[in-house]
Amino acid sequence: MHSNAEVIENALLKRKTSRLPCFPLIDIAFASSYVGQSMREVQFDPRLHASALSKCIEELPVDGVYINLCLDTGQGDRISDSEIKLDESLNLVIPENDVLSISSTEITSLDDRRIMEAELFHPGILATFNNMDEDIKKKYAVAVGVTGTFSQVAFLVGISEFMMALLDQPDVVHKALNTRHNIVIRQVQELCAAGARFIWIGEGLGSGSLISPEQYREFVLPFEIEIAEEIRKNGALSLLHICGNVSSALPDIANCCADGFDLDFPVDLTDALEALLPQVTVKGNINPRLFMWGFSDQLRQSCIRAKEIAADRVGYIMSTGCLVPRDSTKESFHIMADICNYD
The answer to whether residue 229 is domain-embedded is yes
Inside any domain, residue 123:
yes
- Using DSSP's 3-state secondary structure scheme, residue 96 falls into coil
186 domain-assigned? yes
Instruction: Identify whether 84 is part of a domain.
Output: no
In a domain, 265, yes or no: yes
pTM of the predicted model as reported, rounded to 2 decimal places: 0.96
* Length, in residues, of the chain: 343
3-state class (DSSP) for residue 224: helix
The total number of structural domains that make up the chain: 1
- Which of 257, 219, 216 has its CA nearest to residue 238? 257
What amino acid occupies position 244? G
Selection from 261, 263, 259 nearest residue 233 by Cα: 259
State the Cα–Cα distance between residues 29 and 307, nearest whole angstrom: 26
Number of H helices, E strands in the chain: 15, 11
Residue 224 CA, chain-centre distance (Å), reads 13
In this structure, the number of other CB atoms found within 10 A of the CB of residue 254 comes to 17
Q: How many C-beta atoms lie closer than 10 Å to residue 96's C-beta?
A: 10
Alpha-carbon span 249 to 39, nearest angstrom: 33
| 124, amino acid identity | G
- Amino acid identity at 208: G
* Residuewise pLDDT in 10s, the chain (343 residues): 689 999 999 999 999 998 999 999 999 999 999 999 999 999 999 999 999 999 999 999 999 999 998 899 888 898 998 999 999 999 999 999 998 899 999 999 999 999 999 999 999 999 999 999 999 999 999 999 999 999 999 999 999 999 999 999 999 999 999 999 999 999 999 999 999 999 999 999 999 889 999 999 999 999 999 999 999 999 999 999 999 999 999 999 999 999 999 999 999 999 999 999 999 999 999 999 999 999 999 999 999 999 999 987 899 999 999 999 999 999 999 999 999 999 7
**Cα–Cα distance measured from residue 56 to residue 32, given in angstroms and rounded to the nearest whole number:** 10
Residues ≥6 apart with Cβ < 8 Å to 214: none
Selection from 126, 118, 132, 131 nearest residue 144 by Cα: 126
Residue 181 vs residues 69, 148, 152: alpha-carbon distances, Å: 19, 8, 9
Structural domain of 232:
4-76+107-339
Helix axes 221-233, 149-157, angle to 10 degrees: 120
Residue 266 belongs to what H/E stretch?
none
3-state secondary structure of 136: helix
Which CATH number fits the domain that encloses residue 264? 3.20.20.210
Task: Classify residue 114: in a domain, yes or no.
Answer: yes
- Asked if residue 92 belongs to a domain, the reply is no
Distances (CA, A) of 238 to 112, 133, 156: 30, 21, 24
Residue 253 domain-assigned (yes or no) = yes
Query: How far apart, in whole angstroms, are the C-alpha atoms of residue 196 and residue 193?
Result: 7
**Neighbour count for residue 276 (Cβ, 10 Å):** 23
CA distances from 23 to 155, 284, 314, 336 (A): 28, 9, 16, 9
Give me the pLDDT at residue 315, please: 96
Give the CA distances from residue 169 to residues 111, 277, 295, in Å, rounded to whole numbers and listed in that order.
12, 36, 46
